[in-house]
Amino acid sequence: MKDMHGILFAYSSNVRLKELTEHRTASSIPYGGRYRVIDFMLSNMVNAGITDIGVIMRENYQSLLDHLGSGKDWDLSRKRGGLRLLPPFAYAGARRDTAVTAYRGKLEALYAITSYIEHIRQEYVVLADGDLIINLPLEEIFAKHLETGADITCVCLAREPGYESDAYLRTDARGRVKEVLLSGLDKDVYPCVGVYILSKTLLGKLLADSAAHNYVNFTRDVLQRMQGQLNITAYIHEGFSTRPQSVADYFRQSMCLLQPEVRRDLFSRKRPIRTKVRDEASTYYSPESHVKRNLVADGCIIKGDLENCVVFRGVRVEGGAKLKNCILMQDTRIQSGVDLAFTITDKEVTVTKGRALKGHESYPIAISKGSIV
């Protein structure tokens, strides 16, 4: 699909994600044992044949830069095109009144990269959030976009996803959007996942218009305001989708991965999710370990008991440790006799001998990166 360009919004964060976004944006939160959240939309784009992708970031993006690197792991380290990282251009601090801590909306973020957008060599652009977890057939969605002749195609979900959407669309029988709502109180509306396809020309016009009127919010100022003037069409996706908005949310949505049907959908063999390669050896289970219902990445040494856990790369669990309903991020060290339940350990956390911590499904404990308990 040489005619589509990808733009990912990777600047957003959410205060309710607390410890998880202390050192990173929502897009670079570790998810699913070996991924960062941004891997999903990035892989969706690559799997659809998109070769040029720009990633807009604003602050707290060191972790994201480290993860994405040259884009090599997504086959995006290219001579022409490939991955383009777009941190704030001339971050002038207090000198400019637009220099607030975060972009106020997608239109503002896009306006900040106007010169980049002018140089896009493809005719169409797909806009998406970096913190959306989904496996989308973007190639098919693009074909539909061309077929329906829509000005903007919005990807929606067939069902309520269990997280708050930016917009809810009411459509006619052919999928054409008749009404754009900002909350989903009505039953017969489709929650929009924030993935939009439109032409580069239209995007340019919308940005110029928004700048003139000081519009910043794509949902309100484009979808809602211009619904009557533009042909906006919904594409309904049936699969799994999530977007962690709080620690409890993140926990619940991670545990979904223990269901085989969710894994089959999200890690579809037809459209694999790629991530940064760490060259770990296999995971070793010792004779003293007891393991049930766990999703485990490579490079771990498991000697303790694990039940309902998501375990990232390079984790060590010593003998006699009992972990139930836990998420252990990269290089976590669990010493002997530790007893954990409903706990999320961030990267490089050590829980020392015999410590016991128990959260609850409604309030899982999150331990900050690098902490020693």
Partner 1 sequence: MKKECIAMLLAGGQGSRLYVLTTHVAKPAVPFGGKFRLIDFPLSNCSNSGIDTVGVLTQYQPHELNAYIGSGQPWDLDRLEGGVHILPPYQQNKGASWYKGSANAIYQNISFIENYNPEYVLVLGGDHIYKMDYAVMLEQHKRTQSDCTIPVIEVSREEAKRMGIMNVDENDGILEFEEKPAEPKSTLASMGIYIFTWEKLKKYLIADEADPKSKNDFGTNIIPSMLAGGEKMTVYRFSGYWRDVGTIDNLWEANMDMLSGEEIDLSNPAWRIYARNPTAPPHYIGDTATVSHSLVTEGCEVYGGVFNSVLFNDVTVEQGALVEYSIVMPGAVIERGAVVRYAIVAENAAIRSGAKIGAPPGMFKNSPEDWGVAVVASGVTVGPGKAVGAREMADADLV
Angle in degrees, CA 211, 177, 1, rounded to 5: 75
Nearer to partner 1, 155 or 296 (CB): 296
- The answer to whether the CB of 288 falls within 8 A of the CB of 271 is no
- The answer to whether the CB of 330 falls within 8 A of the CB of 313 is yes
Nearer to partner 1, 295 or 317 (CB): 295
**Shortest approach of partner 1 to residue 7 CB, angstroms?**
24
Q: Which stretch binds partner 1 (CB under 8 A): 53-61, 268-276, 342-350, 360-368?
A: 268-276
- The answer to whether the CB of 293 falls within 8 A of the CB of 312 is no
Amino acid identity, position 48: A
Nearer to partner 1, 187 or 270 (CB): 270
Residue 261: CB atoms within 10 A of its CB come to 10
Contact between 32 and partner 1 per CB under 8 A: yes
Contact between 224 and partner 1 per CB under 8 A: no
Neighbouring residues of 88: CB distance < 8 A, sequence distance ≥ 6: 57, 58, 59, 99, 112
Q: Which stretch binds partner 1 (CB under 8 A): 82-90, 233-241, 283-291, 358-366?
A: 283-291
Q: Which stretch binds partner 1 (CB under 8 A): 3-11, 22-30, 239-247, 286-294?
A: 286-294
Which among 357, 353, 313, 225 has a CA at the least distance from the CA of 32?
313
Nearer to partner 1, 209 or 307 (CB): 307
Contact between 220 and partner 1 per CB under 8 A: no
Neighbouring residues of 270: CB distance < 8 A, sequence distance ≥ 6: none
**Shortest approach of partner 1 to residue 352 CB, angstroms?**
22
> Could you identify the residue written with the tokens 């484009």?
222
Tell which one of 292, 353, 358, 360 touches partner 1 (CB under 8 A): 292
Binding site for partner 1 (CB under 8 A): 32-34, 72, 258, 260, 263, 266-267, 272-274, 277, 279-287, 289, 291-299, 301, 310-311, 314
